[in-house]
Amino acid sequence: MGFIKEFKDFAIKGNVVDLAVAVVIGGAFAKIVSSLVDDIITPAILKPALTAAHLTNLTELVIPGTAIKYGNFLSQIISFTIIAVALFIIIKALNAMKRKEEAAPAVPPEPSKEEVLLTEIRDLLAKK
């Protein structure tokens, strides 16, 4: 019974549950971000470039006479860059919100009884 109780305590800990929720939400959010990048942003950026190169799809870019398809690689680099910039903007906004919360003036703690007593003694000695 000790092993089962120990496992239950481990599995039900707040950190483990929080981590599980974060993984599930992260997976769902990754799909949203991938769709945004793959279906909206990348085509909007690449459409003019592909039209200028007389291509319909970025994966059609290959080194002639080889099987090296550098178009897909370029697409992945562009997707990574867009995701990195989006995350940077989100994190920067979150940090700005945290700074506003921290900037609120904190109420200074009341001095302890010893500090009050020492202050009174100092003031009395200063009067002499």
Q: Using one digit for the tens of pLDDT, what is the confidence trace for 36-71?
A: 777 887 777 777 777 777 777 666 777 777 777 777
Residue 73, both tokens: 């690689």
The predicted-structure confidence for 79-122, as pLDDT tens digits, reads as follows: 788 878 877 888 888 888 888 777 666 778 888 888 888 898 99
DSSP letters spanning 81-101: HHHHHHHHHHHHHHHHHHHHH
**How many Å is the Cα radius of gyration of the chain?**
30
The model scores a pTM over 0.85: no
Residue 76, both tokens: 């992945």
Local structure of 109: helix, strand or coil:
coil
Angle at 65 between CA 60 and CA 70, to 5 degrees: 40
Please name the amino acid found at residue 43: P
- Domain boundary assignment for the chain: 2-127
Query: How far is residue 14's CA from residue 41's CA, in Å, rounded to a whole number?
Result: 38
Provide the pLDDT for residue 51. 79
Query: How far is residue 94's CA from residue 22's CA, in Å, rounded to a whole number?
Result: 17
Has domain 2-127 been given CATH number 1.10.287? no
